[in-house]
Amino acid sequence: MIISPRIATATDQAAPSPARCGGNVLFIILIAVALFGALSAAVTRSTGTVSPETLTQGQAQIYASEIIQYGIDLEQAVNRLLTLKGCEETQISFDYDIPNVTGYENANAPSDYHCHVFHVNGGGVAYKPMNPEWLDGKTTHTLYGNIHFLTTCVEAAGPPYVGNCNTGAPTVSQQYADLIVIVPFIKEEICLAIAEKIMGSSTIPVDSYNGFHNVKFVGNFGAATAHIDFNAPHEHLNQGTTAGCFTGDGGGGADMMAPGRYTFYNTLLAR
């Protein structure tokens, strides 16, 4: 008797075991969790949330180089305005039409923008917003979160004196007030990398009497401010200029840099 081979049908297939089904579901859930985490990280970066983690030495070096280079770019732009564009010191403008950056409208600046730092007719520098990764996350100051263009007296940029920019000048009020850019409240690791790069210091300098009033530069050197009173000469251009990063010692008033808060500065115009 010949027995015909039986052809297997779909109903004859072995049903998947409950364990296998559970494993597949768990795998899908893990993939979903991973995708959600990646999406959350992307949203966090896009909304400018400050990264609180400690930076590696390599990251700190990269961010320090970015900040230093931006300071140099700005200094060169101001120099071009004065030497090539024929601008007066009081005509320099940092006005730039973007959200959250206001108050730099300089009425003295020519209407053709040739004395504007951030304009193709003027300094030709691209405006660079504050990188959230630079910030220390301690949002307790009016200057927090933005790069600022202010006036203060940088002791190493000119003759020594006692007092602030208002009272220390010998004959004319604000004679020694300098134009500076500050990147305030950056992470300690970045500040230390800056100090090492351009100040040759393995420690962050302490400044006892800096003054950063929230008075944006609009052509007026007469705003009463204190001064950066430690010597930090750095000649990265043809003229002697100063730049560096420091912390405060707790002295002075609310506008002084507090201990444990760190600020980069670069002198754009020494007077």
Percent of the chain with pLDDT over 70: 63
pLDDT of residue 85: 96
Q: Which helix (H) or strand (E) holds 178?
A: strand 178-186
Nearest to 148 by CA among 181, 106, 186: 181
pLDDT of residue 258: 85
User: What is the Cα–Cα distance from 242 to 230, expressed in whole angstroms?
Assistant: 11
User: What is the Cα–Cα distance from 1 to 203, expressed in whole angstroms?
Assistant: 98
pLDDT of residue 241: 44
Q: For residue 4, what are the CA distances in angstroms to 1, 7, 11?
A: 10, 9, 19
Nearest to 121 by CA among 113, 130, 129: 113
The residue type at 165: C
Parallel/antiparallel/unpaired status of strands 241-248 and 206-207: parallel
pLDDT of residue 271: 79
Q: For residue 66, what are the CA distances in angstroms to 60, 101, 153, 239, 260?
A: 10, 20, 25, 22, 22
Q: Are 216 and 84 in contact (CB under 8 A)?
A: no
State the pTM of this model.
Answer: 0.74
pLDDT of residue 160: 56
Spans of the chain, pLDDT less than 70: 1-53, 98-101, 156-175, 211, 223-224, 229-241, 252-254
Helix, strand or coil, per DSSP, at residue 153: strand
Q: Where are the domains of the chain?
A: 84-118, 130-271
pLDDT of residue 108: 96
Alpha carbon 239 to its chain's center: 24
User: DSSP class of residue 243?
Assistant: E
Radius of gyration (C-alpha) of the chain in whole angstroms: 28
Write down the residue that tokens 């609310």 correspond to. Answer: 254
